[in-house]
Amino acid sequence: HSMLPRHVQRLGRDWITHWNGSQILTLNSPVSSCMRWAGHYPPWVSFPLPISADFSANWRFPPFFGPWRQFQNSNWHLDSYTQSCCFHLPTPSMKSEGEEPLTKKRRLSAQDGTSAPEQETNLSNQKEVSCLSVAKNEEKHGSKKGTIKRHWEYFCQRSKTMKIAKNKGCDQSSTGSEATFDFTVMSYNILSQNLLEDNSHLYKHCRQRLLFWTYRFPNILQEIKELDADVLCLQEVQEDHYRTEIKSSLESLGYHCEYKMRTGRKPDGCAICFKTSKFSLISSNPVEFFRRDIPLLDRDNVGLVLLLQPRFHCKANAAICIANTHLLYNPRRGDIKLTQLAMLLAEIASVAPQKDGFFCPIIICGDFNSVPGSPLYRFIKEGKLNYEGLAIGKVSGQEQFPRGQRILSIPIWPKKLGISQNCVYEIKQQQKEENAGEKLEAANPDNTQEIVLASEKLSSKLRHHFKLSSVYSHYFPETGVPEVTTCHSRSAVTVDYIFYSAANDDTAAQPGAEDSFCGGLKLLGRLALLTEKDLWTVNGLPNENNSSDHLPLLAEFRLIER
């Protein structure tokens, strides 16, 4: 820390105390907040503040404590921490950043410039560091210490306006001409234990006993039980944990589970689980994004697409397509992200068509490693993207100052992938074009060649044929503060989404692509997200009660068939 600015060194020397090895001192004092303010630290600080592992010999009380005698006689006690300030110290004993996977090394080197090597230790042998997380307003955030209460937001459909209510007190009944089926869907990145241990620098703010799988899994399972979704889309599901306990635990709750493991060395994958009392399985379609013969597709991410049939109140041929994925993290490889997304959309386009030629309603869940408003996000929502001149580092919007400056090639992926710029498999695209060409030639034979040439010139335009809306609006309407779906030591941002094909009269939906659906989905409600400030009142994620670094997303839908 000798290279830090002098005022930062004084922070570590003057404002940090060491009391009985607990690394926390809490005082019954008028200080109103924690020494580490959530989201309000200066740009030159690497968060959490770097502190020497051997600072205990140099500490002294901060000036505001007054003379030692006065402090010694003051009325203070440790058990009053819920009304006092807390000094939170990062533990220096976490696993070295030098031992991280290559992709994470690249990420850190650009964010921090350099990273000081730390002594490598095994996670299971580390000393537990005592730290306290205090909710500033327990009455507001929930009655249980260290928890934040998330409320349901219900959408009331009246005339052509949308109203958000915290109580399900509005009329959500459908007209007599519609057959309805209500169900809930959760998307949840549960944080693979293997990835947690490989990237322990992201969890320096956590008490280490909270990071063990034996502590985390019961919490995650309890969360799933309490939210009681009809469909679960889970990411970062570690294969050995899935095989030994996750699958059997979910089956005991009435779920049928489908799982797709990543194709490389990382032993996690995606799972879709649905309640057999609500749905039956029509088909399960895994998607592998790795292609040995295509250098661009050298990453082991996967997706999973299920076609489900509702059991009640619907026509015999009713179906819902549920997709789940976890796209590549690397902020500088937007070309890979877009190609992976196109492969998922192509699989959905092959699974979702019905006999009448329309798509069945579609829900796409996952961790897309892209932020709201980014080109990749807009492509999903708007159904089109002109990527000509777009730098690969700007595709996902993860970095404020992107380092990937190479421009996307046209086309992004080679023809031998077998997926068109409309994100459908080439065979089906060719059949469509042949049928359209025959009709066009019969109607106007002179202009056919001009239209074909025009389509070739527009090869930098990606399209898909789904009308998709996002369940969440990504900003709180009253304040404009961003919603957050993941929060750890390095960032707090939205990367997780639930997209759905909205019915024409769904006033909660945002404008999307062309309407090629028979009926659709109406968003009835959603479990509200939180701000970064909210999450740091319970010491970020994971914490004592929330055992992933992501929040679960949860929405209630109504299936509408005309």
Assess if residue 86 is contained within a domain.
Answer: no
At 508, the pLDDT band (50, 70, 90 cuts) reads confident
At 36, the pLDDT band (50, 70, 90 cuts) reads very low
SS3 for 235-299 is EEEEHHHHHHHHHHHHHHCCEEEEEEECCCCCCEEEEEEEECCCEEEEEEEEEECCCCCCCCCCC
At 362, the pLDDT band (50, 70, 90 cuts) reads very high
Assess if residue 245 is contained within a domain.
Answer: yes
The CATH number of whichever domain residue 485 belongs to comes to 3.60.10.10
**Mean pLDDT calculated for residue range 413-439:** 80
Assess if residue 57 is contained within a domain.
Answer: no
**CA pair distance 338, 355, nearest whole angstrom:** 29
Assess if residue 403 is contained within a domain.
Answer: yes
Contacts of 469 (CB under 8 A, 6+ apart): 381, 499, 500, 501, 502, 506, 508, 509, 510, 512, 523
Q: Angle formed by the axes of helices 426-443 and 448-457, to 10°? A: 140
Assess if residue 510 is contained within a domain.
Answer: yes
**pLDDT exceeds 70 at position 46:** no
Assess if residue 551 is contained within a domain.
Answer: yes
State the maximum Cα–Cα separation within the chain, in Å, rounded to a whole number: 99
460-474 pLDDT tens trace: 999 999 999 999 999
Cβ 392 vs Cβ 333: under 8 Å: yes
At 427, the pLDDT band (50, 70, 90 cuts) reads confident
Helix (H) / strand (E) containing 560:
strand 553-561
Cβ 27 vs Cβ 76: under 8 Å: yes
Indicate the range of 111-120, 394-403, 473-482 predicted with least confidence: 111-120
Q: Which two tokens stand for residue 480?
A: 């404009």
Please report the DSSP string for 327-389 in residue order: ----TT-HHHHHHHHHHHHHHHHHHSB-TTSSBPPEEEEEE-S--TTSHHHHHHHHSEEE-TT
At 442, the pLDDT band (50, 70, 90 cuts) reads low
Count of domains observed in the chain: 1
Would you state the pLDDT for residue 506?
79
Q: Which two tokens stand for residue 199?
A: 């990237």
186-196 pLDDT tens trace: 999 999 999 99
Contacts of 178 (CB under 8 A, 6+ apart): 560, 561, 562
Question: Where does residue 172 rank: exposed (0-12), middle (13-18), buried (19+ CB within 10 A)?
Answer: middle
**CA pair distance 261, 160, nearest whole angstrom:** 44
Indicate the range of 150-164, 166-180, 339-353, 362-376 predicted with least confidence: 166-180
DSSP state of 49: P
Helix (H) / strand (E) containing 301:
none
Helix (H) / strand (E) containing 316:
none
- Of residues 128 and 100, which shows the higher confidence score? 100
* Listed ranges 110-114, 140-144, 163-167, 505-509; the one with the highest mean pLDDT: 505-509
Choose among 472, 482, 475: nearest CA to 526.
472
446-462 pLDDT tens trace: 554 544 444 445 589 99
At 317, the pLDDT band (50, 70, 90 cuts) reads confident
**Mean pLDDT calculated for residue range 519-541:** 96
**pLDDT exceeds 90 at position 326:** yes
β-sheet bridge partners, residue 521: 502, 559
Q: Which amino acid makes up residue 465?
A: H
Rounded percentage of the chain residues whose pLDDT exceeds 90: 57
The predicted model scores a pTM of 0.72
Cβ 491 vs Cβ 138: under 8 Å: no
Assess if residue 153 is contained within a domain.
Answer: no
**458: region left, alpha or beta (phi > 0 left; psi from -120 to 50 alpha):** alpha
Q: Which two tokens stand for residue 444?
A: 């106007």
For the chain, give the mean pLDDT.
77
Pairing relation of β-strands 362-367 and 320-326?
parallel
Assess if residue 474 is contained within a domain.
Answer: yes
**pLDDT exceeds 60 at position 270:** yes
- What's the residue count for the chain? 562
Burial 56-78 (b: 16+ CB within 10 A, else e): eeebeeeeeeeeeeeeeeeeeee
DSSP state of 481: P
Rounded percentage of the chain residues whose pLDDT exceeds 70: 62
Q: Domain range holding 409?
A: 178-424+461-561
Choose among 78, 89, 132, 560: nearest CA to 360.
560
